[in-house]
Structure 1
Amino acid sequence: MRAKTLRIGLVAAGLLLTSCSDQGGEAAPPGGGAPPVEVGFVVLKAQSVPRHAQLSGRVVAHATAEIRPQIDGIIESIDFREGRQVKAGDILFKVRDAKFGAAYAAAAAALSRAEATEQSAQAAFDRNERLQTQNAVSQQSLDEARAALLQAKADVESARASLQTARIDLDNTTIKAPISGIIGTASVSVGSLVTQNQTDALATIRQIDPVNVDLVDTSANLLRIRQDVEAGRLGREGEGAPSVRLTLENGADYEQAGTISLATVNVSESTGTFTLRASFPNPDRILLPGMFVRASVDLGVMPNAFLVPQRAVQRSGTGEPIAYVVSADSKVEQRTLSTEGTSGNSWIVTEGLKEGERLIVDGFQKISAGASVTPVEATIDEDGVVKQSLAAPADAGGASGAEQ
């Protein structure tokens, strides 16, 4: 009885193993290999892609004037409001002018005396000249009269110059704004003694509308841009200076666009950089001198370039950017890329890809070059999210895959 029970158990176990073997045979693909991996792809289309250079810089005033006295004296009044707009020619300071007024009056009197002496010398010369024609005076007397006249004329010119100098000094007792702009705080008060061309400025005026931004770039980037232009990989549409957009320190975009106004013609020997200066309208005085900003400079347009999602670009063992495409026979091919920066969430690729190729953007974690795949067309939104759901692996119980 015990032997019979054992034989029945062995037969049942054999049937169970046979059944499991049959089911496994039905699920396996022909040839016994694993099914091709599904990958999401997008079709590549060449397009003209704007190229921008991302640079950092600081805001500087369009013009700066440091106000210093040109005479010695005592400040009599301060005639501006600190931190406000002033116009060229506005009175800023007044220096006591009594001493300079007296000097001007003395110079005017000296001029009058010199002019009187000139008239007397002129009359003496004219008289001696008439008498000399009648041989009534000697030639020596005529020469002496001529010399006296010339001396009197020179004295008049000297007196006029002295009067002009006194006039300038008197005018300089009223210190005016040389440019329009925002004036800062006064470094002196009423009653302070100031001296001619002193080191400390009385106040500083800065023009900040428009305002300048000094941007720094490397000489290597400059050479690379020139090579791209000469090779036809980069060109500008239309004429005019390149436009510039700013990002402020708080991450906000500055609404007004600027233009490149000049570039230095030398490269720093210590840093290997050169400076670009951009000019921006600043009616609301948002940009202040000394502020740090980031700028995007429009370098032009690259024709026949590809925008490749960043998620589709990887790095090879040597650090080169690579991507995978699906061939006509559904095989994976690896491509080495040449990139020229980024645009949004995409790399700008100029070499390594072709029009109409199927670029793998999802599922490449499970593939390698030469592998067979099942391509499924996908779409990618502006945030780089793939909108194509791929089938789940066989060990996931048949559940559908989530969006990547």
Structure 2
Amino acid sequence: MQIGLFAHRRTGVLTGALFLSCALAACSHDQKSVQKKVQTVTVETVKTVPYAQSSSMPGRATSFLTSPVTPQVTGVIQKRLFTEGSVVHEGQVLYQIDPAPYQATYDADKAELEKAQAALLSAKPIAERDRSLAAIDAISKETLEEAEATLKQDEATIDADKAALESARINLGYTRVTAPVTGTISASAYTPGALVTADQTTALATIYAYDPMYLDVTESSTDVLALRKKFASGEYKTDANGNAKVKITLEDGTTYAHEGTLQFAGVGVDQTTGTITLRVIVPNPEKLLLPGEYLHAVVDQGVNQSAILVPQQAVVHDQRGNATALVVDAQNKIESRTLMLAGTANNNEWVVTGGLATGDRIVVAGSQFVSVGDTVKATDATAATDATDATEAAAASAASSPSAN
């Protein structure tokens, strides 16, 4: 009985050990199969291509001239003589201020001048007569001095009256408020019947000269220094006056029809931002550009015959802001590269100036499934695209064949 029980227990132990051994073997087999699994990634082979380089500088458009229209005399506006938003010309009358009090002052000053001129007509012959009489001792010296003093006083009165009359004439002219420059005028801040003063700070309206326009762009002092060196070396072309021609990109991404001229107008570095403001003069004959509009000044840098362009989705930035990308090496292992970028190109590509070389295979898809050091299977993106296109073309051909119908 005991021998049978011992044999039964021994059989159970052996069965359990065998089961555990099989389980461990199966687990080991699964781990090996997981370890042997190789991920597939899509790569592009780096090559050099011709690329027209350019430097883009964002900025805001401002008026070539901004001239506030302000009154020079105090009075009540009688008329507004322009259409808001229209083009006005230099010297054009914009407002008529009530001229009546200034006309009265002018008339009074004119009468005073005429009175002084009449007094001078009387004083001149008296002084001349007294000089003749004094020469023969017919009158006293005091009488002669009095006559000459009266003459000089009348002459001085005429000069003062002429100045007063000229001042009155100017003020009377100021009742006709004219445009100081040619341009587009804004809405009027005052209506007829409003009282305006000579010392007010609020403009009646503002005139903007839209052709040409200014585009003020800000660049870091380092970039401006590099830009100056490139112009000085002839790498960037300039006109006869040493100014660079630039293309203008509008807010919607289209290219403006007229080229601008870049002028190095910056005279100092902003200590807060470390930037310098540069100015671009842009023709605006169609009045398409408006003050405050966001634009880009694009400076052509010529054609780089051996540029490296990579898809933007292949590049990520680490916590320090460094641009990195995954590359498949000759042993089909994943390695990480730190890249130097020089801006974006067309078709959502980065311009790479460092970190990659011709022939490198950069991962463009599947990077989220692999880590540095992993062995992968690399599929060329161009070959995959060609295969997909061929499959789609064959399917379309089969669907349109008579047998398919």
Count residues in correspondence: 346
More helix by share: 2
Q: Which residue identity does 1:257 align to in structure 2?
A: E
Displacement, 1:295?
A: 0.9
Q: 1:238 to 1:65 in 2, by over 3 A?
A: closer
Displacement, 1:155?
A: 1.0
CA deviations 1:336-385 (Å, max 9, x no partner) are 5433223324433444566xx32434579579789899997xxxxxxxxx
Secondary structure of the residue aligned to 1:115 is helix
Unaligned runs of 5+ in 1: 1-33, 377-385, 393-399
Distance 1:233 1:324 in 2: 37
Please give the residue correspondences for 1:72-91 in structure 2 after superposition, counting only pairs within 5 Å: 72-91=74-93
Contact map agreement 2:269 2:276 (CA 8 A) in 1: yes
Q: 1:190 to 1:100 in 2, by over 3 A?
A: same
Q: Identity of counterpart residues, as a percentage? A: 31
1:44 to 43, 48, 52: 48
1:236 corresponds in structure 2 to 236
Please give the residue correspondences for 1:265-284 in structure 2 after superposition, counting only pairs within 5 Å: 265-284=267-286
Contact map agreement 2:215 2:281 (CA 8 A) in 1: yes
2:311 corresponds in structure 1 to 310
Q: 1:37 to 1:102 in 2, by over 3 A?
A: closer
CA deviations 1:82-105 (Å, max 9, x no partner) are 222211122211122222222111
Displacement, 1:108?
A: 1.0
Q: Which residue identity does 2:382 align to in structure 1?
A: K
2:298 corresponds in structure 1 to 297
1:96 to 91, 95, 98: 98
1:30 corresponds in structure 2 to none
TM-score in terms of structure 2 length: 0.68
Displacement, 1:162?
A: 0.6
Give the root-mean-square deviation of aligned CA atoms.
Answer: 4.3
Distance 2:386 2:283 in 1: 55
Contact map agreement 1:327 1:358 (CA 8 A) in 2: no
Please give the residue correspondences for 1:302-381 in structure 2 after superposition, counting only pairs within 5 Å: 306-311=307-312, 313=315, 320-321=322-323, 337-344=339-346, 345-351=348-354, 357-361=358-362
2:167 to 162, 165, 168: 165
Q: Which residue identity does 1:358 align to in structure 2?
A: G
CA deviations 1:104-132 (Å, max 9, x no partner) are 11111111111222233332332233333
Please give the residue correspondences for 1:1-400 in structure 2 after superposition, counting only pairs within 5 Å: 40-44=44-48, 49-55=52-58, 57-217=59-219, 221-227=220-226, 230=229, 235-239=235-239, 240-248=243-251, 250-261=252-263, 263-291=265-293, 293-298=294-299, 300-301=301-302, 306-311=307-312, 313=315, 320-321=322-323, 337-344=339-346, 345-351=348-354, 357-361=358-362, 386-389=381-384
Distance 1:368 1:190 in 2: 78
Distance 2:143 2:327 in 1: 112
Q: Which residue identity does 2:218 align to in structure 1?
A: V
Secondary structure of the residue aligned to 1:389 is helix
Contact map agreement 1:234 1:302 (CA 8 A) in 2: no
Distance 1:401 1:335 in 2: 35
Contact map agreement 2:332 2:378 (CA 8 A) in 1: yes
Contact map agreement 1:332 1:373 (CA 8 A) in 2: no
Unaligned runs of 5+ in 2: 1-37, 393-405
TM-score in terms of structure 1 length: 0.69
Contact map agreement 1:181 1:206 (CA 8 A) in 2: yes
Q: 1:336 to 1:77 in 2, by over 3 A?
A: closer
